[in-house]
């Protein structure tokens, strides 16, 4: 048994439903970092930013929903010819964001496609201005020039390119082989230069070590000679001081009566010894009559000694 239930909308319920649909159509919540392009009767009416917004139901409509975040788009690989006629395969990554949703919607059909194509053409143009070696050395400046050219061309689209990064640059295989050979030769050259520099530095260090050793040896010898001379000088001074002290003591002692007797006794002893030496040299010795006088003996001994010294000198 089937039961059919019919619901009949009252005028009040119909009015309430109409109000709910009207409110739902008129209230628009725009997310953060997004913008809605609103058209009225097919013509641009306004741009709704993040937050709560209202439109006229059944008259206004959201024609475009644009993201204001920074976007990263892969630039496909493409061929480019450098200034020295070398064909390269280059790809990159493009980072951009929408500054003006109105221009991005009405200024170009597809701004992502347009900006990628612009990046490719700009990159080919910039690579054609430099040689192959510069493409690897000046990658940062090349990226900066590409960004500047793209921003200048994409200004009517409301797009700002933040940066462009070249991911890879692939030259032909023949060029790669020649570049590897060049790099190998350059590395060998640097290795030889470093080796020769090491040998030169080693020779310099050895020479400096020998020179320093000779200088130290000479300084040591000089110091030794100076010390030896100072020692000898001190020894001579000490001997002279001792002799002077001895002579002073002898002179002091000789100045007394006992000293005079001692001196006469010593001279007499030496005179006797001198006569003995004369006796050895000659068989005849003449003694004076007053040989017993000590003073006479001393005088005679002195004369004999002087005579012997004169004979030895002759």
pLDDT at 4 over 50: no
Instruction: Give the highest mean pLDDT range of 6-10, 85-89, 111-115, 196-200.
Output: 111-115
Q: Using CA atoms, how far apart are residues 165 and 134, in angstroms rounded to an integer?
A: 16
- pLDDT over 90 for what percent of the chain? 9
Helices (H), the chain: 11-26, 101-106, 111-127, 132-137, 139-154, 173-254, 257-281, 294-313
Q: What is the CATH number of domain 71-171?
A: 3.30.479.30
Q: If you average pLDDT over every residue of the chain, what do you get? A: 79
Among 184, 186, 206, 183, CA closest to 194:
186
Q: What percent of the chain has pLDDT over 70?
A: 79
Q: What does DSSP assign to residue 282?
A: -
* Segment among 26-40, 64-78, 247-261 with least mean pLDDT: 247-261
Answer for the pair 96, 160: CB distance below 8 angstroms, yes or no.
yes
- Per-residue model confidence as pLDDT tens digits over 157-188: 999 999 998 888 888 777 767 777 777 788 88
pLDDT at 115 over 70: yes
Pairing of strands 43-48, 34-40: antiparallel
Check pLDDT > 90 for residue 95: yes
Q: State the Cα–Cα distance between residues 144 and 162, nearest whole angstrom.
A: 10
Q: Is residue 138 helix, strand or coil?
A: coil
Tokens of 280: 């050895």
Q: Over the stretch 229-288, which tens digit does the pLDDT of each residue have?
A: 888 888 888 888 887 777 777 777 667 777 666 676 777 777 677 666 766 665 555 555
Delimit the domains of the chain by residue range: 11-67, 71-171, 176-255, 256-313
The phi, psi pair for 55, rounded to 5°, reads: -130, 165
């Amino acid at each position: 048994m089937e039961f059919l239930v019919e619901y009949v909308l009252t005028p009040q319920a119909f009015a309430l439903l109409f109000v709910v649909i009207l409110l739902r159509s008129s209230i628009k919540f725009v997310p953060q970092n997004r913008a809605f392009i609103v058209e009225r009767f097919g013509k641009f009416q306004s741009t709704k930013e993040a937050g709560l917004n209202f439109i006229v139901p059944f008259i206004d409509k959201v024609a475009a929903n644009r993201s204001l975040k920074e976007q990263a788009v892969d630039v496909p690989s493409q061929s480019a010819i450098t200034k020295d006629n070398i064909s390269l395969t280059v790809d990159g990554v493009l980072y951009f964001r929408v500054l003006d949703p109105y221009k991005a919607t009405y200024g170009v059909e597809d701004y992502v496609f347009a900006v990628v194509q612009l990046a490719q053409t700009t990159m080919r143009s910039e690579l054609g201005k430099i040689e192959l070696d510069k493409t690897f050395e000046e990658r940062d400046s090349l990226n900066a020039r590409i960004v500047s050219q793209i921003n200048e061309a994409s200004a009517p689209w409301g797009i700002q390119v933040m940066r462009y990064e070249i991911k890879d640059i692939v030259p032909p295989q023949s060029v790669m082989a020649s570049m590897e050979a060049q790099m190998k030769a350059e590395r060998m050259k640097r290795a030889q230069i470093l080796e020769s520099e090491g040998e030169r530095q080693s020779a310099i260090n050895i020479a400096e070590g020998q020179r320093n050793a000779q200088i130290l040896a000479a300084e040591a010898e000089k110091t030794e000679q100076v010390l030896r001379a100072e020692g000898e000088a001190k020894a001579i001074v000490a001997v002279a001081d001792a002799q002077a002290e001895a002579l002073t003591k002898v002179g002091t002692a000789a100045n007394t009566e006992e000293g005079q007797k001692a001196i006469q006794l010593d001279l007499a002893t030496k005179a006797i010894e001198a006569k003995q030496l004369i006796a050895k040299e000659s068989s005849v010795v003449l003694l004076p009559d007053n040989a017993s006088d000590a003073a006479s003996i001393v005088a005679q001994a002195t004369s004999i000694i002087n005579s012997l010294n004169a004979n030895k000198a002759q």
